[in-house]
Every structure is written in structure tokens, then in C-alpha cells.
Amino acid sequence: MRDLEFAGGTAVLTGAASGIGAALAHGLARRGADLVLLDRDADGLATVVAAIRAAHPDRRVQTHVVDLADADATDRVAAEIHRAHPRIRLLVNNAGVALGGRFDQVTLEEFLWVIEINFRAVVRLTHALLPALKTEPGSHLVNVSSLFGLIAPAGQAAYAASKFAVRGFTEALRHELVDDGIGVTSVHPGGIRTRIAASARVGSGVSVEEYEVGRRQFEKLLTIDPATAAEVILRGARRRRGRVLIGWSAKLPDLLARIAPAGYGKVLALGMRPRPARVPAPRPPATDPAPTAAAEPGRPA
């Protein structure tokens, strides 16, 4: 399969108002793609579009403000996009949300909210726009899973379930669409500096103190710039890579899960355990050195 050509094609991108999505929008515009951008954050989306139009006035950019948790609204927007763009070169399902708390600390409604946005919206948009991808020669599909689509730590039951589902869905499509000439990439970012931790919902049964401890620990892992992540994703898509892992914070856990698929949880728990503050040992009080007798000429001291 030939490399993906961005220039002159239409790229549809969800979660485009911030983080990796905003960086992907800028990267696609630089590569010559026309854009259809989706997000629920109208103000953030407008800011991204204004910057792209200022830098690339020849790019065609359309936007749709939609909450992907609303299945009917998602279906309507997908149908509108298909009518306006019967040929799509690239679809990037990037939007995602997080929920903090163990399975027994979240309500079923909270759990399914994550599944609706992170997985079912991916399925809905892909199903609606797949005919447009098939119509465009050399098209490509990118689904953004997560580090937690490779491992599933405690406290991330909803998020991991949704991202493992995205991974499985994407891998199946990779095998199904090869004869149609459509490339498919599953993306697994590690610690990217985005707002997902700060904007995550907190399970109804999670105490504020417990949430803050977990949030601070998680945010220490967020070291990769979204622009760097976006470039890795776009290079992977151009080269038609089936799977893209971003950063050692994704690659090392992936290796750990391969080596110890049933036992990596103990290693993760050890790594996430709060370290006690180091208290320096008390020093003995300073004392003046004992006087030393001066040596007389011809006698040893």
C-alpha cells in the first residue's frame, strides 16, 4: 500500500479543540489537507480554526459542535458530513473522556458515559463515514486508543474497557479493509500533556482526597507535548503503520504486559505507590576540634 497523501484530501477529526486533536488539526493543515473538525467545546474549536485560517488561508475548514455522548446528535452530524463530503481521505477518531474511580465507586450511568464517547461514538462515525472512505482511493482510518488500551490498571475500569474496545475494533477493521485499500492505524499514546486528567469526571463514590492523590500521581506521567504526539501519529498514518505507540510510557508497559500478562498489575501498583518524603538524618552538633600541641624544633609533635 502506498504512503498516505494528505494534500488535496479531506480529513475528519474529532476532539479537535485542544490537546492532541488541536495539534493534529494544525499538522494536517500544514500538510495540505482540508478539514472537518468536531468537538463539544465551541470556543476552543473556534480558536483552533482561527489560528489555522490565519496560517493557511487556502485551507477549507468546516466545524461541527457536537457532544459525542449524544448518540442521536452524533448520527445527525455524521450524516451531514457524509452528504457534504462523499469522499474522505482520512478519518481520525481522537475524542475521549476519562473517569476516575474503581468499578464499585462509579455509577452505571457514569461508566456508560465513558463507553458512549470513547467507543460507541467511534463505531457510529466510522460506520457512517466508511462509504466515503471506500470511495476515496488511498484513504486511511486512525482510531486513538490509549496506553490503557494496552494495560488496565486499578481505578480505570471504564476508561480501559473503552480503550481496549477501540483497540479490538480497530484491529478487526485493519484485517477487514485491507482488500478495500484502506489503511487502519491504532494509536496508543503514553503520557501526553493534555487536559484529560484535569477534566476527568470523578466517580460518585470517590472521595476528594483519594481523587487528588491519584490525579497528582497520574499528572507526573504527562511529559510528552501534544504537538510531538501529533507528529508521531501523522507519520505513522502516512506510512500506513498498523499500530503506533507514543513514548516510552506506552512502550515499556506494553512490553511488561507481554512478558507478564496476568502479573503486571503488581508492578504497576508498586510504581504508583506514593513515596514517603525523605527526611535527612540529624547531624551531630558541630564541636571545636581539640587543640593540637605545636612541635618544638628537633622534637616530634
Active-site positions?
A: 159
Q: In angstroms, rounded to a whole number, what is the distance separating the alpha carbons of residues 147 and 186?
A: 11
Q: If you search the block for the grid coordinates 484485517, which residue do you land on?
A: 175
Pick the closest to residue 36 from 169, 117, 132, 162 (CA basis): 132
The CA R_g of the chain, rounded to the nearest whole Å, is 26
Interatomic CA distance for residues 201 and 206, integer angstroms: 10
Cell of 281: 538524618
Contact 61, 86 (CB under 8 A): no
What's phi and psi for 244, nearest 5 deg? -125, 120
Q: Which of 126, 205, 115, 186 is nearest to 157 (CA)?
A: 115
Polymer length of the chain: 301
CA distance 88 to 9: 7
| Amino acid in the structure at residue 38 | L
Distance from C-alpha of 265 to C-alpha of 260, rounded to nearest angstrom: 9
237 near 187, Cβ under 8 Å? no
Alpha helices by DSSP H, listed for 185-290, are: 208-219, 226-238, 248-259, 264-272
Distances (CA, A) of 197 to 18, 185, 260: 13, 24, 27
